Amino acid sequence: MSRRALALALLCLPGLVLADSPAETDDTSPSAVFNGREYLVPELAKDPLRLDAGARPFLSRISFSPGFGQLGSERLYVLRVAYNPNDRLGWEAAVGHNPGEAVHALLHTLSAIVRYPLPWRIQPYGSLGYGMILVYPGESLNSDPVTKNTLTAGGGVELYVRDDVALRLEARSVTALGGRGESGGTVAYRYAETTVALAFYRGLDR
């Protein structure tokens, strides 16, 4: 092989190597990493407070909602988990702890959440449920705990910060069904419940 042919082969070698290597693709899909942060929902990377157009979606979504407030005149801490089989109906299980001074109360309920989805950040809803309330004494009292049936009714609003997070304000009436009164009828004790919570939504298809 002549020197000229050898030099020509050496000049062409880098081009052959580059041709054999896989070409870089221009990936125009949205990235989950933005400004050094990785987002679990890629659509929120560049605009964390965005809302999709149209009514808020609730179909096949679950929500996890911790919060606090008041039951009667005492403080209340709540934890709620809900599932929405369709856009207008949801089932919610909740546990609330009312740490009073003389007595404590533990309230657990199963409620139906009824709503009409709107294309806004504010979403009103109604709530109707049944549960049990366990009232047990504190350390200063020596008595047995008492369990009563409860009926709850009320409603609230959710203010959506983004599609999967909302600030939740709720007010309910909690009616505890007691024993028999002097007239033979059932005695009912009614308490007002108000709470502030955060609702974290997640679709089951993700």
Q: Which domains does the chain have, with CATH numbers?
A: 58-203 (2.40.160.20)
Cβ contacts of 187 within 8 Å, gap of 6 or more? 177, 178, 179, 180, 181
Tell me which residue of 54, 49, 78 sits closest to 66, measured CA to CA: 78
Per-residue pLDDT for 185 more than 80? no
pLDDT of residue 145: 80
- At 67-90, the pLDDT tens digits run 999 998 889 999 999 999 999 999
Reported as type and span, the H/E element at residue 201 is: strand 186-203
Please state whether the predicted TM-score (pTM) of the whole model is above 0.75. no
Say what percent of the chain tops pLDDT 90: 52
Lowest-confidence pick of 32-41, 127-136, 154-163: 32-41
Q: How long is the chain? A: 206
Question: Residues 173, 177, 181, 184: what is their CA dihedral angle, to the nearest 10 degrees?
Answer: 120
Model pLDDT, residue 178: 77
Least confident of 11-15, 91-95, 178-182: 11-15
Q: Is 36 helix (H, G, I), strand (E, B) or coil?
A: coil
Mean pLDDT for the stretch of residues 91-113:
90
DSSP 134-175: EEEE-TT-----EEEEEEEEEEEEEEEEETTEEEEEEEEEEE
Q: What is the pLDDT of residues 140-184, one digit of tens each?
A: 556 678 889 999 999 999 999 998 999 999 999 999 987 665 666
Q: What is the pLDDT of residue 20?
A: 46
Dihedral, 85, 86, 88, 93 alpha carbons, nearest 10 = 10
Higher pLDDT, 201 or 139: 201
